Amino acid sequence: MDGGRNQSATGEEHAVQPIQLLAPDGTLTEDETYTPYVEALDESTLRDLYRSMVVERRVDAEATSLQRQGQLALWVQALGQEGAQAGTVTALRETDMIFPTYREHVMALHRGITPQQLLTQFRATAHSGWRPQDHRFNTYGIVLASQMLHATGWAMGAQRDAAAGDEAAREELVLACFGDGASSQGDVHESMVFASSYELPVLFFVQNNQWAISVPATTQSRGPLADRAAGYGFEGVRVDGNDVLASYAVAARMAEQVRGGGPKLIESVTYRMGAHTTADDPTKYRTADEVEEWGAKDPVARYSLWLRGRGLIDDAFVDAVEAEAKDLAADLRRSIHELTPVTLEENFDTVYAEPHRQIEVEKAWLRDYEAGFAEDSAAGGKGDA
């Protein structure tokens, strides 16, 4: 990697250039370390990478519209970050536990979470639309960086399971997702210190999308976020997050080393093309030129070019994926009304893994309390008119 400085408005004055295999024009460059990982991918996986990005992008757009139509309280767009997420999640095993932020929609769909389940929390009908264990994908962490401690704690548990003779745990990897904004949180520091001290199998994955709401990444960190890993005593790598192949290769290589080894950090340099959330207006703090510049580095466009060049996809395939995405979006629109609010009782059932006396007591009390209202309405609506 060269040490040249590339000054731009969006954080690329950092000295270390991110690893890139696939250029925005769709040309693939050779890299001694990483190319072998890409070459090992079979054709169906290569096509799935494309499909997962395109489908999520369509779901993302539908969810944004649904929010604008009053059907969701909030939506968090992943637009522009599909490559970083698709490449990384594909490099993991299905059994690896993922601790997401609230923007890892590509990863969630990849793990079999449905769009409806994904939207549940944003429609405020439940705290989470899925059970983490069913998908090895934790609930979305709304409190910035809280998931980092959960991830490190989970890895400590896995390490102990392994010490107790659990063979599966010996091979386990935990993916800890965070963003450039969260990188300033103390939780990230603590999670990295513990991961390093205990040599835990945590792959730290920061998507540097250049903006922490309205604060540029260059304000959060004067140097590359990847460099911070050195301070904790483990390796950090920068990758072009808009290059799905490099994202895959870097994650695959790092994952090998994390498994049974110690933590690593990937800084995925990408760009949030949309707003921070639907409650944000990015035109207030960034220029149209900047957005345009990053739009030209779109992860889907460049990957599509490359796949077509290799003859891996054709119009029929692209149309089929489009149709699949469109159907999924239409289903989502239809089914959004079917999401029913979680009952308070159900909330009690998910507090502890095992039956818990106090929770049972409180649940019974609540059931009785609620029943008090039902009796009132059965009595003929004798309200205080």
Partner 1 sequence: MVDTFNLPDVGEGLTEAEVVSWRVAVGDTVAVNDIVVEIETAKSLVELPVPFAGEVRELVVAEGETVEVGSPLIRIRAEGAGDDEDDEDDGAESATSAAGAGPGDGAGEPTSAAAASSSGSSAGSSAGSSAGASSDSGALIGSGPKADAPRRRPRTRHADLGLVDDSDLPPMPAPAGAPAGAAGQPRHGRDLAEMVAKASPPVRALAKRLGVAVWELVGSGREGQVTRDDVERRAQQKKAAPGEIPAEPTTPPEPTFNGKLRPEAEREERITVRGVRKATAANVTDMAQNVPHVSVFKEIDVSRTMEVRAALRQDPSYEGLSVSPMLFAAKAIIWAARRNPQINSSWHESHYVLKNYVNLGIAAATPRGLVVPVIHEAQTFSTRGLAAAITQLTVDAREGRTTPAEMQGGTLSITNIGPLGLDGGTPILPPGQSAIVALGQVRKKPWVVDGQVVPRDVMTIGGSFDHRLIDGEHAGRFITDVGSVLEEPGLLID
The footprint of partner 1 (CB under 8 A) covers: 61-62, 65-74, 123-125, 278-281, 283-284, 333, 337, 339-341, 358, 360-361, 364-365, 367-369, 372-373, 375-377, 379, 383-384
Report in angstroms the alpha-carbon separations of 311 from 20, 306, 315.
22, 9, 11
- What the block records as the tokens of 241 is 């997050």
Closer to partner 1 by CB, 4 or 70: give it: 70
* Alpha-carbon gap, residue 206 to 226, rounded angstroms: 9
Tell me the closest approach of the beta carbon of residue 175 to partner 1, in angstroms: 29
> Which residues does 59 contact at the CB level (< 8 Å), separation at least 6?
105, 109, 115, 118, 325, 328, 329, 332
Closer to partner 1 by CB, 164 or 374: give it: 374
Closer to partner 1 by CB, 353 or 385: give it: 385
Closer to partner 1 by CB, 74 or 305: give it: 74
Strand segments (E) across 21-61: none
Q: How far is CA 117 from the centre of its chain?
A: 15
Tell me the closest approach of the beta carbon of residue 134 to partner 1, in angstroms: 25
Closer to partner 1 by CB, 111 or 123: give it: 123
Tell me the closest approach of the beta carbon of residue 326 to partner 1, in angstroms: 11
Closer to partner 1 by CB, 310 or 367: give it: 367
Exposed/middle/buried for residue 356 (C-beta within 10 Å: 0-12, 13-18, 19+): middle
Angular region, 381: left φ>0, alpha ψ -120 to 50, beta rest: left
Tell me the closest approach of the beta carbon of residue 238 to partner 1, in angstroms: 32
Tell me the closest approach of the beta carbon of residue 68 to partner 1, in angstroms: 5
One DSSP character per residue, 311-351 reads: TS--HHHHHHHHHHHHHHHHHHHHHGGG--PPPHHHHHHTT
- What the block records as the tokens of 322 is 């489009």
Tell me the closest approach of the beta carbon of residue 213 to partner 1, in angstroms: 12
